[in-house]
Chains A and B, each alone.
Chain A
Amino acid sequence: QQQVKQSPQSLIVQKGGISIINCAYENTAFDYFPWYQQFPGKGPALLIAIRPDVSEKKEGRFTISFNKSAKQFSLHIMDSQPGDSATYFCAAKGYSSASKIIFGSGTRLSIRP
């Protein structure tokens, strides 16, 4: 039972292009949606996060777009660089501090020089 569905599983983008990774969730109790970035040989690290009271959050070249009615959110990487090549996980969490973070299946992103 997958509560957070992520696509695509893998993605190849040319340097300078826009990378887009999509996620959908089912549980309307989720109220925190982070994205984690994982480089080879490293553990995942928090990249950017959004709450459902806003439709977009931007940090540098990384933007989360959030559609509450469709229960979907996406990560956009503008001007993608080879250093962005990594695995990206979307996730969701409920309001309670005891609520667990639920991860998507991951997207392996490769940026071609």
Chain B
Amino acid sequence: DVKVTQSSRYLVKRTGEKVFLECVQDMDHENMFWYRQDPGLGLRLIYFSYDVKMKEKGDIPEGYSVSREKKERFSLILESASTNQTSMYLCASSFDGLGGANVLTFGAGSRLTVL
């Protein structure tokens, strides 16, 4: 079964801490994404990557950065966590090729609480 694995399901951090959210996919997908899910706001795209070492800003990149050193791994970094970054974070991937970019495979999510 194909998988997108997010290393931490629940995290509690303090304001100002640096936070790393890790995501690994085993499908050899080219494209990887980080979304944030908040009630009433749906899924909002933070950053995405179409290739190793490439990154593109999504709709809400402020306060976040990403790293993609290997094809299978995409990390989301909160340089200095703030309380308004308390949320559910979802990683997803998709592949190039016919129709591939239309289908996102999501991980189970990482729920981050910033105190």
Q: How far is the CA of A98 from the CA of B107 in the complex (A)?
A: 21
CB-based A-B contact count at 8 angstroms: 53
Asked if B106 and A89 make an inter-chain contact with CB atoms under 8 angstroms apart, the answer reads no
Q: How large is the interface on B (under 10, 10 to 19, 20 to 34, 35 or more residues)?
A: 20 to 34
Dominant secondary structure of chain B at its interface with chain A:
mixed
B-contacting residues, A1-56, CB 8 Å: 6, 9, 32, 34, 36, 41-46, 49
A69 on interface, CB distance cutoff 8 Å: no
Asked if B50 and A100 make an inter-chain contact with CB atoms under 8 angstroms apart, the answer reads no
Asked if A100 and B48 make an inter-chain contact with CB atoms under 8 angstroms apart, the answer reads yes
Asked if A103 and B4 make an inter-chain contact with CB atoms under 8 angstroms apart, the answer reads no
Q: Chain A: residues with CB nearer than 8 A to chain B?
A: 6, 9, 32, 34, 36, 41-46, 49, 89, 93, 97-101, 103-106
